[in-house]
Amino acid sequence: MKKSPTPERLASAERVRSLRASLGLTFEALARAAGVSVAAVHAWEYGQRIPSAPMLAKLLVVKRPKTGARA
């Protein structure tokens, strides 16, 4: 039986979800940009885990993907 996320985890989950949505990124794209697994992003967004302070800082500097740019 899973425990319900704490209010702190729910608040963190909402911050990560809002950040990802504002950047227009998928779970996979945010995971790739942050250098973590898709499972980690999922755990953050569903309040199962809270990203560390250094990871939060890294997430805040993730850039929106360029559209139409050539590699």
User: What integer pLDDT is reported at residue 55 of this predicted model?
Assistant: 94
Q: Which CATH number fits domain 7-60: 1.10.1270.20, 1.10.260.40, 1.20.1440.230, 1.10.490.10?
A: 1.10.260.40
36 neighbors 4 (Cβ within 8 angstroms): no
DSSP 53: H
Residue 38 buriedness (CB in 10 A; 0-12 / 13-18 / 19+): middle
Could you tell me the mean pLDDT of each successive run of 10 residues in the chain, 71 residues long?
81 94 94 95 95 92 67 44
Domain ranges of the chain: 7-60
Structure tokens belonging to residue 44:
């953050």
Residue 30, Cβ neighbours under 10 Å: how many? 21
